[in-house]
Chain A
Amino acid sequence: MKKNSRVGYLFLAPFLIAFVLFLIIPTVTGFYLSLTDYNGMSLSNASFVGLDNYRAIFDSNSYYFKDFWESLIRTLMYVILITPAVIIIPLVLSYVLNTMNAGKRLLKGMFYIPVVLSVSGIATLAGWVFDQKYGLINFVLTSLGFDAVPWLTNPTFAFMAIVVMTIWWTMGGNLIIYIASMQGISTEMYEAADIEGASKVKQFFKITIPSIRPQLAFTIIMSIIASFNIYGQPAVLTGGGPGKSTMSVAMYIRNTAFGSTQAAGMASAMGIFFGIMLIGITYFQFKHVIKEM
């Protein structure tokens, strides 16, 4: 028994080492820095400031208050718009793809390809698609007699462009999980439902969805966390602009640490606060949402 558990730990070791090196140590270090006025350049000049950085997050008179909360609310908007789309669209698509015979592999590949590309590649591609003067979308619109749309320089359109790009980029991952899990559902259940006269829509809600609950729960949690951490898409596509209209909280934290304010200690406090918030949201999901599923 003892020998077996040793072997178990040995197998776990690579993960545990990486977990400690890349998560535990940076988190503890980040927490320590959040209690200092570290400027990101000189640790020896950093002073201990206690909870001042955390107070600044909630102090409406602080330099950071407005931009931090605005970027957090903006990030919440990203989550609200992106997460349902990257769950529902692949769910429906995978259901349809599973019923298809011809072209299924080709379509699966087409939907999955964006997932394997880097965010820089995807954002550069999106930059070409949404370009005001030479972009694909405006080319189609102007060819049909419509005016060109300032996709990346109008705050609302730029925000939506990032949402659309993120959905296109990430939904393939969930799609593959759903397709695989749907293939595990016994065909006999669908045959019985057919005999009983249940429509395809009814079969989807009564057989498919209940059968893939664990996978759905997993993808919902992961998609929400991923959407909260949105960074590369606005950073590369719009630089957070126009103005600050597409800046996510992760971008704002980076700018606070390395930008003109040189406030890495403050940024660490924001990062810790944001991390705790995400843990809270995930805990709530486990406790109340996932349990129900």
Chain B
Amino acid sequence: MKKLSVFLFMFIGLLGLTGCSSKGTEVVFWNPFAGADGETFQAMVDEFNDEYKGQYYIDSQTTANDGNAYYDKIKTSAQSGDGPDIAIMHIDQLPQYQANDIIHPWSNDEVSAMSVNLDNFSETTIESATFDDQLYAMPLDTHPLVLWINNDMISEEEIPTNWEEVQALAKEGTEGSYTMAVPSNPYVLNRFLYTVFLQNDIPIVDETGTKVLYNTEEAKEILQVVQDAAAADYTPAPGEDVSNMFKLGEVGTLFEGIWMKNAWDEAGLNTTAIPLTGLFGDTPANWASSHTFVKMNNEMTTEQTEAATMFIGFIEQNATEWAAAGQIPANEEARETDEFKQLEPQYSLSQDMDDYKFYPSVETQDATWLPLETYANEVYLGQKTPEEALDAAQKDGEGAAELVK
């Protein structure tokens, strides 16, 4: 009896060590996809597990990133060794995790095993995923901030194409039937400002990642426009949830992420979306981010690495399925498929891939840029002047960057 127990313990331990089970070689995979996009992604994981039943098994675990919970979990688990084997990570988060050795590079052999051709990805995407000449992340998609349009409220002729038309459309708004709205969500407002700053050639951070460069006269003017527009009668009152108002048909257009596609469809809205390039300045630029696959600092067996690369390859090859959840595939090959060409507004928005700009790829990106999120929201609410907000953001940003460095 005792011998049997010892044998069972050893057997179970061995299974744990090798990541093997009756399900096949097991790989733990973490992702932040909750809600409608989470259902789409889980369905893709299930398809993979069915197709490779008994050979590979992806144990997909989701943690919604509310309040940054997903990344908090990744950081703490990386220290305790309880983290996943592979994970989804936003492209702008990569620098800090790479600098701290939490993510490991994909070798050329591993990339080959994914059956992915890196030439099919934009230069910007690959550059942002590469550190010390090594690829640390396999990009899955691109998700820009866009201008959503309720087709039942805004006609095709009214859709703005430049700053003058944006202003003209905004001023047509009346209570209960607004045409435009200043983003009430601080997260969205910050990405909106990033877009407007870049379109007006306002830099964000210097090359060393320690000096905040966006505290300029032009930035003050932009924030003043934001404050005035929010306080005007022709837009919703500051603090009103404009995303909800768009959903209820009380606002005709909305600055939001492309990932809201499913939410609008579920609400029965008849929508389209346009990129932001050209709406606020002459320089083509539009904030975007990208979900990427990263290899964590867990030691994987050869079989697990094989399972992980097969899985990533499978998802990349079925990126159109993922795109239906409101994403643009990072892989050009997927963007050229007939299936993707049927997806609107994703396909139309994919025509501007070169204009989509990620946050600067520096370790101090959060430190230097995030403080503006808090203070810009106060400008929008009329509780701080643009000057106060930019000064405070610069002080906080440079102070935090100094600490990170």
Contact = CB atoms under 8 A, between A and B. Distances in A.
Interface of A: 39-43, 45, 63, 131-134, 148, 150, 152-155, 235-236, 239, 241-244, 258-263
29 contacts: A39-B404, A40-B75, A40-B76, A42-B100, A42-B102, A43-B79, A63-B400, A63-B402, A63-B403, A131-B241, A132-B241, A133-B245, A134-B244, A148-B237, A150-B237, A150-B239, A152-B239, A154-B239, A235-B67, A241-B377, A242-B378, A258-B68, A259-B370, A260-B366, A260-B370, A260-B400, A260-B404, A261-B404, A262-B403
Contacts of B153: none
Contacts of A152: 239
Contacts of A262: 96, 367, 403-404
Interface in B64-95: 67-68, 71-72, 75-76, 78-79
B404 A45 contact: no
A153 B378 CA distance: 9
A260 B362 CA distance: 12
Contact of B399 (A63, A134, A243): A63
B75 A258 contact: yes
B147 to A, nearest CB: 21
Interface residues of B, number: 38
Interface string B48-68: 000000000000000000011
A242 B68 contact: no
Contact of B366 (A153, A241, A259): A259
B265 interface: no
Contacts of A241: 186, 374, 377
A42 B101 CA distance: 7
A258 B71 contact: yes
A261 B245 contact: no
Nearest to B72: A258
A39 B102 CA distance: 12
Given A153-B239, A260-B370, A260-B400, A243 B375 contact: yes
A34 B6 CA distance: 42
Interface of B: 67-68, 71-72, 75-76, 78-79, 96-97, 100-102, 186, 236-241, 244-245, 366-367, 370-371, 374-375, 377-378, 381, 383-384, 399-400, 402-404
B319 to A, nearest CB: 30
B237 A132 contact: yes
B400 A153 contact: no
Nearest to A149: B239
Nearest to B363: A262
A235 B69 CA distance: 11
Contacts of A132: 237, 239-241
A190 to B, nearest CB: 50
A148 B241 CA distance: 13
Contacts of B370: 259-260
